[in-house]
Chain A
């Protein structure tokens, strides 16, 4: 495993990701709560799958 780790991930990169993940987790938590409340009042259309780079040409 380690022999393939040829890229220096950068000092603090792990810590940054842990903090970002924690903050995003909180945002996501509140967002889903808010969406749950919103769903009582607003009818949301079904989410479309992203197809930006998908066209079969």
Chain B
């Protein structure tokens, strides 16, 4: 009586259980193979402690066995996530906080006689303003003398990309897009500057690991020494203090000072904020997608109970937005690094494990402010293509048209031939009229730019 269940395509590696969907609800199947570990997780008080500290995604138990499988032990109903992000969309500080939360979980687990059996970024999500472990089955009973089985995975998924960002100026999102399972020690060791070989902690966790991994298996002699719990606690602590101290090298990108240094007037910015606020106030919405959000000035104008995804292709902007949200305890905004011309692809086994960005994202309202000239002029995307794209992702569109006469566009055209005869407000409206109904058009005071409100046909 195996009923039809929607087995999640990314949940197949762990024999302890899997995720599936039934009638729009996500469930977790726990197998009898995991029974003793699950009992320990609950009975030792570890689950309660982690939930209290906001380090574990809340869940409830259910007695329904939707799967009809004989190895059924428990069904869990985790807190339902409205959106799922991947590490290739995170900025440095987001990955750093996810790493520290993973270590905190492992440390607490050790105190209760358990340990993390996997430590990957795909098990972490930023939920309600906290980094939480979402995989309830990541724990196993700790056996004295054994090493931390997920140590190498932790280094590859968290430590190595963070070190490469801090010491070599590489972006963690781009590194993890190239190495979705984590950056190997051998690659990290080659890319890190020579001086890091004199940093004891970096040497041990990266350079030494790279050296040992390169040796053929036969040459590795086991010293016979057993690892004590205290040893593992010290390893966790050294990883924590190393990651805690990492900082992004200070630099100004083109965008993270956009609103401070921009040639645009202050009147323009405050007028634009008032205009967007008043338009938003008249809309009913639960979700917003802010594309080209910069440092999130306009995402912050959205209602606090709406789910907002703020994206920008500049990871420095997203990093400062993330820090600001953390400081101001704004929980409804997910800041993500996204290059609209190369959005996160579908990846993993048969391209089904990790979903493409726009497969995961639909919104009631889309904000596209001071964005389309970058796509139309810098990336040669036609107005028709833009109109059909926006129609595929939202119902209401608040879009700003930046005309050719605008100084920003002028500076973009300064070094290249103007092949954009079609780039006019009139042509723009004509293209968008195929998919949308224009509800409002206002010139933003202090500029020649127009703000348009569209409703999907």
> How distant is the Cα of A53 from the Cα of B16 in the complex, in angstroms?
28
Also in contact, A16 and B148, with CB within 8 A (given A53-B101, A54-B54):
no
Within 8 A of B (CB), among A4-54: 4-7, 9-25, 27-28, 50, 52-54
Separation of A24 and B234 alpha carbons in the complex (Å):
7
A57 to B52, CA, bound (A): 10
Neighbouring B residues of A11 by C-beta, 8 Å? 212-213, 217, 220
How far apart are the CA atoms of A15 and B220 in the complex, in Å? Answer: 8
- Known contacts A20-B204, A20-B205, A21-B234; decide if A53 and B33 are in contact (CB<8 Å): no
A53 to B340 alpha-carbon distance, docked (Å): 32
CB within 8 Å for A24 and B235 given contacts A6-B14, A7-B118: yes
Query: Does residue B275 face the partner (Cβ distance < 8 Å to A)?
Result: no
Residues 185-226 of chain B, each 1 if its beta carbon lies under 8 Å from chain A, else 0: 000000000000000100011001100110101001111010
* Neighbouring A residues of B53 by C-beta, 8 Å: 53-54
Contact-residue bracket for chain A: 20 to 34
Which of chain A's residues have a CB closer than 8 A to the CB of B215? Answer: 12
Assess whether B222 is in contact with A21, with CB atoms less than 8 Å apart: no
Interface membership of chain B positions 41-58, coded 1 if the CB is closer than 8 angstroms to chain A and 0 otherwise: 000000000001111000
| B281 within 8 Å of A (CB atoms) | no
Chain B residues contacting A27 (CB-CB under 8 Å) are 200
Question: Which 4 A-B pairs have CB atoms at the shortest separation, nearest pair first?
Answer: A21-B231, A10-B152, A12-B212, A17-B147
Given contacts A4-B15, A4-B140, are A53 and B54 in contact (CB under 8 A)? yes
Among A5, A13, A16, residue most surrounded by chain B Cβ atoms (within 10 Å): A16
Interface residues of B (CB under 8 A from A): 13-16, 33-34, 37, 52-55, 100-101, 104, 117-118, 129-131, 140, 143, 147-153, 200, 204-205, 208-209, 212-213, 215, 217, 220-223, 225, 227-228, 231-232, 234-235, 238, 329
Chain A: which residue is nearest B224 at the CB level?
A: A18
A5 to B117, CA, bound (A): 8
In the complex, what distance in Å separates the CA atom of A53 from the CA atom of B234? Answer: 21
CB distance from B279 to the nearest CB of A (A): 31
| Min CB gap A31→B, angstroms | 11
Residues of A within 8 A of B13 (CB): 6
CB of B197 to closest CB in A, whole Å: 14
Neighbouring A residues of B104 by C-beta, 8 Å: 50, 52-53
CB B234 to nearest CB in A, in angstroms, measures 4
In the complex, which residue of chain A has the Cβ closest to the Cβ of B130? Answer: A53
Q: Do B213 and A28 have beta carbons less than 8 Å apart?
A: no
Q: Who on chain A is nearest to B226 by CB? A: A18
State how many angstroms separate the Cβ of A42 from the closest Cβ of chain B: 20
Complex Cα distance, B53 from A6, in Å, reads 28
Cα(A25)–Cα(B231), bound, Å: 7
> What are 27 A-B pairs with beta-carbon distances under 8 A?
A4-B117, A5-B117, A7-B150, A7-B153, A9-B147, A10-B213, A11-B212, A11-B213, A11-B217, A13-B151, A16-B204, A17-B227, A17-B231, A17-B232, A18-B227, A19-B204, A20-B204, A20-B205, A20-B238, A21-B234, A23-B204, A24-B234, A25-B231, A27-B200, A53-B101, A53-B104, A53-B130
Q: Which residues of B contact A23 (CB under 8 A)?
A: 200, 204
Q: Which residues of A contact B129 (CB under 8 A)?
A: 57
Distance A27 CA – B200 CA, assembled complex (angstroms): 10
Instruction: List, in ascending order, chain B residues with CB within 8 A of A57's CB.
Output: 129, 329
